[in-house]
Structure 1
Amino acid sequence: MSDVLPLGPDELLTTTRSVRKRLDLERPVPLEVVRESLEVALQAPSGSNQQGWHWLVLTDAEKRKAVGEYYRKAFTAYRNSSQYPTTRSHGDADRDATQLRVADSAQYLADRMGEVPVLIIGAMNAKAELPASNQAGMWGSLLPAAWSLQLALRARGLGSAWTTLHLQYEKEIAELLGIPENVRQGVLLPVAYYTGDTFKPAKRQPLDTVLHVDGW
């Protein structure tokens, strides 16, 4: 079993950050460490205990490169849209500055996604066409496990970043990887060892600005 960092629950939860610029693109990631982390993730809850998740772990250089190129194309389209953080203000100088830093690191990752040592795609058993109604019940059976995976990776000295832009090319990536039609992708996690363990809690909105007790 790989070494696990001595992090308490609160520290682990508050210092597991999206890692982009600090991903070590040169250091190999042992598959066994990924397997250990996935074993932890499989303890997450799922609707009716169906456990309908699937995990595609990409280590092949050509497949990582191909998925990375789809991600780069999707990111470029997002960067040129009105939703990109540099095109709108939140009315808060500190938050706007943070968003600019996030945008810069996101660009860095988009340019190098295919070079990250391991890419993990979390997916779910589902109908080929997703319902137009609320999909929370389905995705709620995948996302807790994906977050558990990120926590388990962090505890073993690896970083990751939650990304979904590849879903613009979901069908193309499914064809590339041989994913059947009844399995839908939900998240793409680039995974690598990180440089410099100085992660700390991020600045967030005050709780009372988003807290509603007994009603809105």
Structure 2
Amino acid sequence: MMIDDALTTTRSVRKRLDLTRPVPLDLVKECLEIALQAPTGGNAQGWHWIVVTDPELRRAIGEHYARSWNRYYASGTSAASRFADDPVRASVQSRVSDSAAYLGEHMGDVPVLVLGCIATPGGLPEGNQAGLWGSLLPAAWSYMLAARARGLGTAWTTLHLAYEREVAQLLGIPDNVRQGVLLPTAYYTGDTFRPAPRQPLDEVLHLDRW
């Protein structure tokens, strides 16, 4: 797959995740090997990756995720509530919300759950945390791109972090390691992924000044 194709067709896959087809662990490891080539601040490489395949652990994480999703949706701030005054974007947001609701119901059924974590020896820093999370999130995106190139679908989500402590206890994650992203991973059904509609560049581009 050409790099531009991977970058523009790697979508958040939710409804089209194949919940019945096993994913070889070696394939997940291949994707993580690529993720480890991502940049980190000071070359610290403080990341950790928890790959969850045990059915009971996946089910438990899925239950936490479902509770978080239900609370998020009830708050009125989910994707479905945005851009209501724009019929075109509202339609897209409705589809996004519908697929997110599906994932909320089925997170525990996804064959592989990958949690990207990062060491925080002194706890979370006060103020700007861009350096910390910027040393993890590019690697998570690299993982998603590598998965896409291998016929796997993923979705970027952080909703489980409402229950980060509970998930940490479930998986034995130390107190000095924080979770940054949850990446459900499975083979996808169909292959019609294409670039998504986005705002025109001129609306968000600022040259020299705002």
Shorter-normalised TM range: over 0.9
Q: Is the 8 A contact 1:82 1:88 kept in 2?
A: no
Question: What secondary structure is seen at the aligned counterpart in 2 of 1:113?
Answer: helix
Q: Is the 8 A contact 2:153 2:185 kept in 1?
A: yes
Deviation, 1:91, is 2.9
* Residue of structure 1 equivalent to 2:205: 211
* Residue of structure 2 equivalent to 1:190: 184
Q: Structure 2, unaligned stretches of length 5 or more?
A: none
Question: Which of 115, 118, 130 is the aligned partner of 2:112?
Answer: 118
Matched, 1:109 2:129: no
Question: Which of 37, 52, 55 is the aligned partner of 1:58?
Answer: 52
Q: Is the 8 A contact 2:80 2:96 kept in 1?
A: no
For the structure 1 residues 70 and 133, does the alpha-carbon distance in structure 2 shift closer, same or farther, using more than 3 Å as the test?
same
Deviation, 1:130, is 2.1
Q: Is the 8 A contact 2:62 2:107 kept in 1?
A: yes
**TM-score with structure 2 setting the length:** 0.97
* Residue of structure 2 equivalent to 1:134: 128
Cα distance in 1 between the residues matched to 2:109 and 2:202: 41
* Residue of structure 2 equivalent to 1:3: none
Amino acid at match of 2:111: P
Q: Is the 8 A contact 2:82 2:93 kept in 1?
A: no
Matched, 1:86 2:80: yes
Q: Is the 8 A contact 2:15 2:99 kept in 1?
A: yes
Q: Is the 8 A contact 1:128 1:183 kept in 2?
A: no
Matched, 1:35 2:36: no
Cα distance in 2 between the residues matched to 1:152 and 1:118: 15
Deviation, 1:129, is 4.2
Cα distance in 2 between the residues matched to 1:97 and 1:55: 35
Cα distance in 2 between the residues matched to 1:75 and 1:131: 27
Question: What secondary structure is seen at the aligned counterpart in 2 of 1:179?
Answer: coil
**TM-score with structure 1 setting the length:** 0.95
Structure 1, residues 119-141: CA drift from partner, whole Å, max 9, x if none?
A: 00000001474234111000000
Percent identical across equivalent pairs? 63
Amino acid at match of 2:159: L
Q: Is the 8 A contact 1:23 1:159 kept in 2?
A: yes
* Aligned alpha-carbon RMSD (Å): 1.0
Structure 1, residues 28-74: CA drift from partner, whole Å, max 9, x if none?
A: 00000000110000000000000000000000000000001000000
Cα distance in 2 between the residues matched to 1:49 and 1:140: 12
Cα distance in 2 between the residues matched to 1:52 and 1:158: 26
Question: What secondary structure is seen at the aligned counterpart in 2 of 1:189?
Answer: strand
Aligned residues: 210
